[in-house]
């Protein structure tokens, strides 16, 4: 990866988003950190990135608003001069039996997981296409490929399955442009949300670092021939 590549990671204040941002900071010249509410956590991520000698700043935005998502991309492009790598990491999960889901629950999960990524992609792609180089990596769900939804995460699974279709549609549309669009789909992660009830074999748990490495690869020059892919990072969980 060229040292003049610049990245944006959404939802990068902590957890998986922070790990991805720090991983990209090892290769890119700068990483913008997006947050919704926790400005302090985002500030800590930027501090850690700057400690690596790279540029970083934090920007808040509600990505379920097309206007705010477009403004976020515009501010990143203005500050860095360009945007090369977009990681759509925002993706809250709600665990609730599907018959107990209210309209507001359903709407919130789909808007945050699917609509926000759609808005960011639409705003970022024109600049990437002009420069004939870009990487979009959407963070998915390891069972989306098999169309599996557990009863307690129906809305989340529906949103991530939709994100997989969006990823592949956009990748096909922009094939040969120099812009690749892929998905990385984690399974159960240490420190992440785990299904309620039952036992989880700790040997099946992945780490934030596992996912960060996969994202870093897809964001590299070496992955230029890979687009429309869904890289499942789930070990043997539910294989």
Distance between CA 7 and CA 113 in Å, rounded? 20
CA-CA-CA-CA torsion for 10, 16, 22, 24, nearest 10 degrees?
A: -60
CA neighbor of 234 nearest in space, from 134, 152, 160: 160
Q: Spell 174-194 as b/e; 16+ CB within 10 A means b.
A: beeeebbbbbbbbbbbeebee
- Residue 90 is encoded by which pair of tokens? 């925002």
Active site residue 35: no
> Which one from 6, 35, 141, 156 is the annotated catalytic residue?
156
Distance between CA 133 and CA 228 in Å, rounded? 16
CA neighbor of 116 nearest in space, from 182, 62, 173: 62
Distance between CA 52 and CA 23 in Å, rounded? 11
Task: Point out the residues that are catalytic.
Answer: 156
């Amino acid at each position: 990866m060229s040292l003049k590549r610049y990245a944006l990671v959404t939802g990068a204040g902590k957890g998986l988003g922070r790990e991805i941002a720090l991983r990209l900071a090892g290769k890119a010249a700068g990483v913008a950190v997006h947050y919704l509410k926790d400005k302090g956590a985002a500030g800590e991520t930027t501090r850690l990135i700057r400690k690596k000698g790279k540029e970083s700043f934090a920007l808040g935005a509600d990505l379920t608003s097309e206007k705010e998502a477009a403004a976020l991309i515009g501010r990143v492009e203005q500050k860095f001069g360009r945007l090369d790598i977009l990681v759509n990491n925002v993706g809250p999960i709600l665990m609730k039996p599907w018959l107990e889901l209210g309209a507001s629950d359903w709407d919130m999960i789909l808007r945050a997981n699917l609509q926000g990524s759609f808005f960011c992609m639409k705003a970022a792609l024109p600049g990437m296409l002009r420069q004939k180089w870009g990487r979009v990596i959407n963070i998915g769900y390891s069972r989306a490929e098999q169309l599996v939804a557990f009863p307690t995460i129906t809305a989340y699974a529906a949103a991530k399955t939709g994100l997989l279709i969006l990823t592949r549609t956009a990748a096909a549309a922009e094939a040969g442009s120099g812009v690749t669009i892929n998905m990385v789909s984690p399974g159960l992660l240490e420190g992440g949300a785990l299904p309620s009830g039952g036992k989880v074999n700790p040997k099946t748990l992945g780490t934030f670092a596992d996912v960060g490495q996969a994202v870093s690869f897809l964001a590299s020059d070496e992955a230029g021939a890979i687009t429309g892919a869904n890289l499942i990072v789930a070990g043997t969980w539910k294989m």
